[in-house]
Structure 1
Amino acid sequence: MTTPLQAQTPPLKLVALGDSLTAGYNLPGSAAFPAVLEKLLREKGISVEIANAGVSGDTSQGGLERLDWSVPDGTDGVILELGANDALRGIDPAVAEKALDAIVTRLKARGIPVLLAGMYAPRNLGSDYATRFDGLYPRIAEKHGLILYPFFLDGIAGDRVLNQPDLLHPTAEGVRVIATRILPTVERFLTTLRPRS
């Protein structure tokens, strides 16, 4: 028995809008998060295409500035993964929150649903910063009624085996862990999308 997602034709078109964690820093394109996630979904019989709109070094504000050309018309949904560089640079969490909120608001205005992938601040920035930064993703998700995946690097953060030597960017195996862990949340997100007529 096929599900509505499995019977979906043409494929659902998603855009993964993010930074180097989406882009696949130091990895071949086939090992980047969007390609790995697309493969996992297709293996489950879900017809989907995921465009890689990751730009290494991008902050939330950078993502906002390139939003319109990064997410073309005809996009069925966006996986939004931004904020890690804001935290690494110690940018005021209010600035990141404002930019992410604006991205979601503009996508919603275009009728494009968003799955929000959260991030945690490095703990060396202090508890006050971490509390303010970590809390911005649940706030945005609640405000806009979004599905939230709380921590994009869940399962690999700080793991020397699953990260490149900089301990910031996942290895190919690390990306596979990320994609496998987020998969159920993505599947739930896909069931909320309206197929194009």
Structure 2
Amino acid sequence: MQPERSNRANPLTERLELPLLGRLLYRVVYGSIVAAFTIVSLELLYAVLRPSPRQEEFDPSDIFGDPENPHLKVAVLGDSTVTAPGVGGPHEIWVTHICRRLTAGYFVELRSFAVGGSMAHNLIDDQLGPALDFGPDLVILSVGANDALKGVTPVRFEQNLDLLVSAFREQGAVVVQSGVGDLGTIPRLFPPLATLLSRRALTFNAAHERVAARHGSHVVPQRQSPVEVWDERHMWSDDLFHVSAKGHEVWGELGWRTVAVAMGLDES
């Protein structure tokens, strides 16, 4: 007669199985993280190293309007969103669109201090001093995309942006900030990197909003334009990274509305 088998689990077997399951779970999770990191890294390398045409950059500095009108000094600090590789000339840059509309009531002197590739700390180091010396009435800060793309922490970016805005507000200037649009719409980027940068851009745009709330400045509502607009190929230049003249038209319209509100002007 054979002894009955017990239905109870063997404690020794349980002790062996649990660590084994834990190791398997660890390997699955670790492998997934490594795979995701590898995919994102490869996509980033592809976006950076993918051949693209060299595009001329521009300085939009100029004077606009009737010298008999009140003199308005406009300073713009920023990155390639201002130097505008991919447009036909400085007359197509979004800040130029804004200055032309300001001529309804002002003689406008636009001075650009922008340098392509700049991040917020570059504006502090290289552009802030000369811009303060210029003594602007209106300041446009176009910065944030490179900080988001190049790994700057949102906290660090907000600290740098706060320093910039406060310096001009203490001098009495009206300040308009560019905000950060949806970086995931850049044609050179693909999921999951595009998705990751869309979320990261939201965080940096929120930093713009907080700084503006603290100092009484204004943020261009870039996200008011439907995201589908930026899916159109003609909105982007040949390098599939910078916006085209058509994209600058959209930025210019959104920027003008913000400047008009900031200065108490008629938006029409």
TM-score range, shorter chain: 0.7 to 0.9
| Structure 2 contact 86–245 (Cα < 8 Å) conserved | no
Which has more helix, going by share of residues?
2
Larger Rg: 2
| Partner amino acid, structure 1, of 2:259 | V
2:75 corresponds, among 9, 12, 15, to: 15
| Partner Cα distance (2:139, 2:151) in 1 | 26
| Structure 1 contact 153–178 (Cα < 8 Å) conserved | no
Report the counterpart of residue 164 of structure 1 in structure 2. Answer: 237
Q: 1:86-139: CA deviations, max 9, x gaps?
A: 111122111111110010111122222211220046353367644532311111
| Structure 1 contact 14–49 (Cα < 8 Å) conserved | yes
| Structure 1 contact 59–85 (Cα < 8 Å) conserved | yes
Cα distance, 1:20–1:52 mapped onto 2, change above 3 Å = same
| Partner amino acid, structure 1, of 2:124 | L
1:91 corresponds, among 152, 161, 165, to: 152
Q: 1:12-45: CA deviations, max 9, x gaps?
A: 1111211101122243222222222212332x44
Q: What SS class does the counterpart of residue 51 from structure 1 fall into?
A: strand
Alignment of 1:137-156 (within 5 A): 137-151=208-222, 154=225
| Structure 1 contact 137–150 (Cα < 8 Å) conserved | no
Matched, 1:70 2:131: yes
Alignment of 1:25-44 (within 5 A): 25-27=85-87, 28-42=89-103, 44=104
| Structure 1 contact 22–53 (Cα < 8 Å) conserved | no
Q: What SS class does the counterpart of residue 113 from structure 2 fall into?
A: strand
Moved over 4 A (4+): 152-156
| Partner Cα distance (1:144, 1:89) in 2 | 26
Identity, in percent, stands at 28
Query: Structure 2: any 5+ residue segments left out of the alignment?
Result: 1-65, 185-194
| Partner Cα distance (2:102, 2:225) in 1 | 19
Query: Structure 1: any 5+ residue segments left out of the alignment?
Result: 1-5, 193-197
Q: Which moved more, 1:136-145 or 1:124-133?
A: 124-133
| Structure 1 contact 118–149 (Cα < 8 Å) conserved | yes
Would you say how many aligned residue pairs link Structure 1 and Structure 2?
A: 186
Report the counterpart of residue 135 of structure 1 in structure 2. Answer: 206
Matched, 1:191 2:251: no
Report the counterpart of residue 118 of structure 1 in structure 2. Answer: 179
| Partner Cα distance (1:154, 1:46) in 2 | 28
| Partner Cα distance (1:168, 1:61) in 2 | 22
Q: 1:57-91: CA deviations, max 9, x gaps?
A: 00011111120113433311101110110111122
| Partner Cα distance (2:223, 2:82) in 1 | 10
Q: What SS class does the counterpart of residue 119 from structure 1 fall into?
A: coil
Aligned-pair CA distance for 1:173: 2.3
| Partner amino acid, structure 2, of 1:94 | V
| Partner Cα distance (2:255, 2:225) in 1 | 9
Cα distance, 1:152–1:167 mapped onto 2, change above 3 Å = farther
Report the counterpart of residue 195 of structure 1 in structure 2. Answer: none
| Partner Cα distance (2:147, 2:211) in 1 | 16
| Partner Cα distance (1:172, 1:130) in 2 | 22
